Amino acid sequence: DALSREDKLRILRGAVRNVAIVAAEFSHQPRLFRRGFAGQVRFEGLERLPAEGGCVLVGGHLGNWEWMAPALASQGLRLAGVVRPLDAPALNRFVDGTRRGAGVTTIPKTAAGPVLLRLLKEGWFAGLLIDQSPRNSAAPVQFFGAPCWATIGPVMAAVRAKTPVLLCTLIREADGTYRLRITDPVELT
């Protein structure tokens, strides 16, 4: 409520522009994966990842979220992403095939728990985008001062698999390249 109509429209236009850029860049994933995303993605914090693997990486739908997992997989990580299959079957086959072609194992969101736990215990890195309102398995939180629900799935998986949780972002720079940043492990209390 603190934003003006103009500010809200500016944010909306920026979000729509970003989705269009992500869609245009999506088809380049397999080629960039083979090149290790050289020249397109600058990596910060890879040294924070556990050397033995087994880690939950959480992020959100900002920058180019579709390049996060393949960019990490291009660095030699065994990476699985939990995904919500798209409603259009033909589009879902294309998107899933592109993700897999860029080195990412995809796990459908429904009933992902057992598969996710097994992979984490086997030393895989698991990526989950956590900025959508969950329908269940959620905890009440405040987001920009408003009440909403936040998923507890990634934390539950990490606790059960005894792995850390790290935040991962892939932000577009002014020159059109990206900076992939991994934080220190999140303290779970």
Residue 169 near residue 30 (C-beta atoms within 8 A): no
Higher pLDDT, 14 or 132: 14
Tokens 């959100």, residue?
Answer: 60
Segment 111-123 shows an average pLDDT of 93
Tell me, what amino acid is at 103? G
Residue 137 has pLDDT above 80, yes or no: no
Residue 142 or 48, more confident:
48
pLDDT in tens, 66-108: 999 999 999 999 999 999 999 999 999 999 998 998 889 999 9
pTM score, whole prediction? 0.89
- In degrees, rounded to 5, the angle at the alpha carbon of residue 104 between the alpha carbons of residues 40 and 80 is 120
pLDDT of residue 80: 96
Q: What is the pLDDT of residues 27-75, one digit of tens each?
A: 888 888 888 888 999 999 999 999 988 999 999 998 999 999 999 999 9
Residue 145: the pLDDT is 83
The SS3 assignment for 19 reads: helix
Q: What pLDDT does residue 78 have?
A: 95
Q: Give the integer Cα–Cα distance in Å for 112 and 115.
A: 6
| CA neighbours closer than 13 Å in the CB half-sphere of residue 9 | 3
Q: What is the token pair recorded at 8?
A: 């809200």
Q: How confident is the model at residue 10 (pLDDT cuts 50, 70, 90)?
A: very high
Q: What percent of the chain has pLDDT over 90?
A: 66
